[in-house]
Amino acid sequence: MKLALCTFPAAPASLVLLAALASADALATDLGTLGPTYEITEPHLLQMIEQRLRAKERSGELARIEQEARQRGTDTVRHPPALANVRTTQAARTFFYDPTYTLDRNILGAQGELLFAAGTQANPLDVVSLSRHLLFFDARDARQVLRARELMAHYQGRVKPILTGGSYLDLMKSWRMPVYYDQQGLLTRRLGITQVPALVSQDGRRLRIDEMEVPR
């Protein structure tokens, strides 16, 4: 009887390795116990964590930790960290900020049409004007709070108060009007404000910034 010989493509190395492992498992031999064996006695990690939490709950420590966390959260909201890059005005100055920016890519419409080409310059003040003055001040300083009230009266309320320090919630309750906070100093850094109180007003296509002194 003649045997027909067939040739197959070379198998990938991964398949060869799997086949070898399967063969080794099929031919495995019980060599007996080579040494003493012990059962795993370490507690399960999740069980250990659960036990500790239950112990803290029984002792009242867990409730205390939760209360402290809530109190820290409340304190952070009521008294946000004062901005480190802003100080009380030492020497008054006036400067200007140009909000014009240059597009770094093409702006396309819904149908893929080109609306604005990369390199186009735009100024937000050409579209939307600054309807109210922006007043930055530190509410921890009574002199700045008094100056802010004077400016708000002068501009007949067309002022948006923005704090760089102090409690905006307390001030809102006292003034009965919205008071804002410059979170993480984003606005003061963008505008280049380093001293407060500072009043931001529109001057044509740019912003005028007046860092004002307060009475000693």
* Digit-coded pLDDT (tens) for 42-91: 667 777 777 887 887 788 776 776 766 666 655 566 668 889 999 999 99
Q: What is the pTM of this model?
A: 0.63
* Digit-coded pLDDT (tens) for 86-127: 999 999 999 999 999 898 898 888 999 988 889 989 898 988
In this predicted model, which residue has the larger pLDDT, 60 or 34? 60
Amino acid 185 reads: G
pLDDT for position 52 = 80
Cis check: omega of the bond before 9, within 30 degrees of 0: no
Amino acid 46 reads: L
Cα–Cα distance between 168 and 182 in angstroms, integer? 10
Cα–Cα distance between 108 and 119 in angstroms, integer? 14
* Digit-coded pLDDT (tens) for 147-191: 999 999 999 989 999 999 999 999 999 999 999 999 999 999 999
Helix (H) or strand (E) holding 94: strand 93-97
The answer to whether 96 and 207 have CB atoms below 8 angstroms apart is yes
